[in-house]
Amino acid sequence: MRALGIEGTAHTVGVGIVDEECRVLANVYDMVKPEKGGIHPREAANHHAEMVVPLIRNAADVAGIDLRDLDLIAFSQGPGLGPCLRTVATAARALALSLDIPILGVNHCVAHLEIGRGVTDAKDPVLLYVSGGNTQVIAFARGRYRVFGETLDIGIGNMLDKFARECGLAFPGGPILEKLAQDGKTLLSLPYSVKGMDVAFSGMLTAALALRKQGAAIEDLAFSIQEVAFAMLTEVTERAMAHLDNDEVLLGGGVARNRRLQEMVARMASDRGARMFVPPGDLCIDNGAMIAWTGLLMHRGGVRMSLRETVVDQRYRTDEVAATWRA
């Protein structure tokens, strides 16, 4: 069985093709880069509409298959930006109808976890999902993927990108700050906001920008933001692992590419006799392969959707999905 997945919850539109063994046959994508400011949902949707057909063709070429060799179409049903979700859903419906094969809408957050289980040795990990819009600690319990902790305001990636933008750095800011942080020498005081199992980042953003105005070096700020924000994330992830008595941690989302975050989580894991898993970078960021693979798992687990059930859901919660394929 081969599944094609289309991802398009935010600024990236991606198409992936996977087989029954979670071999990634193709995983191609294109990202909107805003000239300045954040992403505009309508502009991103226009971009996705323009790119999705060429990406589908390209994915089939890379995989070396004909579209008629596909058995399933999956797409990101939510959560995400409404216009982007609708654009991708429309493309997925058209493709499934024209090929006369089943279609499944996939929860984007669940897909980040499933691709990690698919391509690493992780069996039942706690997922630290850290991207632009999302920051969640997720694990499987009693038939569903449940959110054990999350951001109370903005996603960690958005915080990094916004800070970078205000300092005149390019988008996305996360990787640029990671480089700058290597030259940081002083740990500046920033708010450490952990509330129970949840975290918050907007206070840190405000404080860091205020320090920047007072003349703090950008390298020290990048270093301090990483140390404090990643320590917060490591703390709540460890608490989830302790409560669940779970000895596997999986990283996902674009920020999972950050070496310092990987180092801190790996250290926490090894201190408690647990293991950390990080999928390859292209499967950490938003991508079509994770959607294809999760669709395939769902299909195998007996999930079917009528066209009516493929309406998008901007606020699709992780724990709304009955993970029947894991039973």
Give the binding site for ligand ATP (CB under 6 A): 9-12, 80, 131-134, 155, 157, 160-161, 172-175, 178, 253-255, 257-258, 285-286
For residue 184, CA distances in Å to 4, 178, 179, 190 come to 43, 10, 10, 15
Binding to Fe ion (CB under 5 A) within 207-246 occurs at none
Contact with Fe ion (CB under 5 A) among 76, 87, 131, 226: 131
Residue 295 touches which of ligand ATP, Fe ion, none (Cβ within 5-8 Å per kind): none
Minimum CB distance to ligand ATP, residue 111 (Å): 10
- In angstroms and rounded to an integer, the radius of gyration of the C-alpha atoms of the chain is 19
Q: Is the dihedral of CA 89, 46, 110, 22 positive or negative?
A: positive
CB 55 within 8 A of CB 87: no
Give min distance, CB of 9 to Fe ion, in A: 6
Q: Is 215 left (phi over 0), alpha (psi -120 to 50) or beta?
A: left
CB of 65 to ligand ATP, least distance (A): 26
Task: Identify what 18 binds: Fe ion, ligand ATP, none; CB under 5 to 8 Å per kind.
Answer: none
Please calculate the CA angle 242-243-244 and round it to the nearest 5 degrees: 95
| Nearest residue (CB) to Fe ion, 113 versus 218 | 113
Q: Can you name the residues that pair with 3 across neighbouring β-strands?
A: 18, 72
Q: How far is the CB of 48 from ligand ATP (least distance, A)?
A: 12
- Pairing assessment for the beta strands 2-7 and 12-19 based on DSSP bridges: antiparallel
Is 12 a residue that touches Fe ion (CB under 5 A)?
Answer: no
Q: Which is nearer to ligand ATP, 96 or 286 (CB)?
A: 286
Report what 287 binds from Fe ion, ligand ATP, none; CB cut-off 5-8 Å by kind: none
Residue 218 interacting entry, from Fe ion, ligand ATP, none, C-beta within 5 to 8 Å by type: none
- The dihedrals phi and psi of 250, each to the nearest 5 degrees, come to -120, 140
- Tokens in use for 50? 């323009």
Q: Least distance (Å) from ligand ATP to the CB of residue 301?
A: 23
User: Residue 157 binds which one of Fe ion, ligand ATP, none, with CB within 5 to 8 A depending on kind?
Assistant: ligand ATP
Q: Which of 78, 265, 286, 303 binds Fe ion (CB under 5 A)?
A: 286
Cβ at position 257, least distance to Fe ion in Å: 12
> Token pair of 217, please?
């070096």
Minimum Å gap between C-beta 308 and ligand ATP is 25
Give dist(CA 76, CA 108) in Å, integer.
6
CA atoms within 13 A on the CB side of 39: 26
Distance of closest approach, residue 157 Cβ to ligand ATP, in angstroms: 3
Within positions 68 to 87, which residues make up the interface with Fe ion, using CB under 5 A?
A: none
Closest CA relative to residue 85, chosen from 326, 244, 313, 318: 313
Task: Draw the binding track, 239-278, toward Fe ion (x: CB under 5 A; -: no contact).
Answer: ----------------------------------------
155 binds, among ligand ATP, Fe ion, none (CB under 5 to 8 A by kind): ligand ATP
Backbone angles phi, psi at 135, to 5 degrees: -145, 105
The three-state secondary structure class of 125 is coil
Nearer to ligand ATP, 34 or 64 (CB): 34
Residues paired with 250 in a beta bridge: 127, 277
Find out whether 223 and 101 touch, Cβ atoms under 8 Å. no
| Residue type at 217 in one-letter notation | A
Residues forming contacts to Fe ion in the complex (CB under 5 A) are: 131, 286
